């Protein structure tokens, strides 16, 4: 058997321009809404949640499913998050499970995979809005920075260093070099935030754990794509694929923090 052809530099970095431009646009919109908070940030989070539910439903629906079902489920998810935000309480929060149940009862491939990931999307979306409302902009800035730096460090380290794959059966492109680079980048971000007085020094050890949770979120979405036979969750974002492809790590990170907050306060002062 002949050796595989080496990957050319052009092919290796072919998606970089579109990836960077799309990334800058997302950073600009995200930074503005994080700073504004309130309805602006909530509206963006609800929109992203709806698009992720739409992509997940589209990926897992069988062939021949009537057009519009995924869109209707996405609209239901968005409407219920908005309702729960305006009518907060333990009882209304249970309504966030309605899109999960309704989507699971629809014609569906991998029914329980959909249910588990749809629950993660709904919980993380609502949790992110609540984090911004209760803990301030700096917490969201920290989360997003960790996710972005971990992804960027992993992208460049994986392509420049290469080496053994992290989990080749699930995510063939991820390498150990990129994974570890993401952890190192996260530690540096945590130390920077603490040194600037934007948070406590606990961020130094919380940050790589958050990065790892984000990487696991990415792995989970990659596993779903492999099961459903798609390369990207959609083509909404040039260079990045779909919304789930871009925000899967954020889902993992936010879910991790929601668990952590059951045992400790995040080292921020509500800034």
Find the angle CA(112)-CA(115)-CA(116) to the nearest 5 degrees.
Answer: 90
User: Is 9 a member of any domain?
Assistant: no
268 located within any domain:
no
Number of domains observed in the structure of the chain: 1
Q: Which of 32, 44, 107 is nearest to 70 (CA)?
A: 107
Closest residue by Cα to residue 225 from 177, 183, 173, 180: 173
The answer to the question of residue 4 being in a domain is no
Q: How far apart are CA 191 and CA 185, in angstroms?
A: 10
For residue 218, being part of any structural domain is answered with yes
| pLDDT value at residue 209 | 97
In a domain, 101, yes or no: yes
228-252 residue pLDDT tens: 888 889 888 766 678 998 899 999 9
- Mean pLDDT of the region 38-65: 92
pLDDT beyond 90 at 67:
no
Give domain status of residue 163, yes or no.
yes
255 located within any domain: yes
Residue 51 lies in a domain: yes
Secondary structure of 94-149 in HEC code, one letter for each residue: HHHHHHHHHHHHCCCCCHHHHHHHHHHHHHHHHHHHHHHHHHCHHHHHHHHHHHHH
**pTM assigned to the model:** 0.86
Structural domain containing residue 38: 19-260
**Would you say residue 54 has pLDDT above 90?**
yes
Q: What is the pLDDT of residue 168?
A: 77
pLDDT tens, residue by residue, 114-173: 999 999 999 999 999 999 998 899 999 999 999 989 988 887 887 788 777 887 777 777
- How far is 111 from 113, CA to CA, in rounded Å? 5
Residue 10 has pLDDT above 70, yes or no: no
């Amino acid at each position: 058997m002949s050796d595989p052809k080496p990957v050319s530099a052009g092919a290796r970095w072919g998606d970089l321009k579109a990836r960077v431009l799309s990334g800058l646009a997302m950073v600009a919109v995200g930074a503005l809404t994080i700073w504004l908070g309130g309805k602006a940030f909530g509206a963006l989070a609800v929109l992203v949640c709806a698009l992720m539910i739409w992509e997940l439903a589209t990926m897992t629906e069988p062939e021949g499913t009537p057009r519009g079902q995924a869109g209707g489920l996405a609209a239901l998810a968005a409407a219920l998050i908005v309702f729960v935000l305006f009518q907060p309480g333990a009882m209304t929060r249970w309504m966030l499970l309605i899109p999960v149940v309704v989507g699971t009862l629809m014609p569906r491939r991998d029914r329980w995979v959909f249910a588990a990931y749809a629950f993660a999307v709904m919980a993380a979306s609502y949790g992110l809005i609540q984090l911004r409302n209760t803990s301030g902009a700096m917490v969201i800035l920290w989360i997003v920075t960790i996710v972005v730096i971990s992804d960027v460090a992993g992208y460049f380290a994986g392509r420049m260093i290469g080496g053994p794959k992290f989990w080749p059966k699930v995510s063939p492109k991820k390498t150990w070099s990129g994974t570890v680079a993401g952890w190192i980048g996260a530690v540096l971000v945590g130390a920077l935030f603490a040194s600037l007085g934007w948070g406590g020094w606990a961020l130094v050890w919380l940050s790589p754990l958050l990065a790892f949770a984000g990487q696991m979120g990415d792995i989970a979405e990659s596993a779903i794509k492999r099961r459903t036979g798609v390369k990207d969750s959609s083509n909404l974002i040039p260079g990045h694929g779909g919304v789930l492809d871009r925000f899967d790590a954020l889902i993992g990170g936010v879910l991790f923090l929601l668990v952590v907050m059951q045992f400790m306060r995040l080292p921020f002062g509500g800034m």
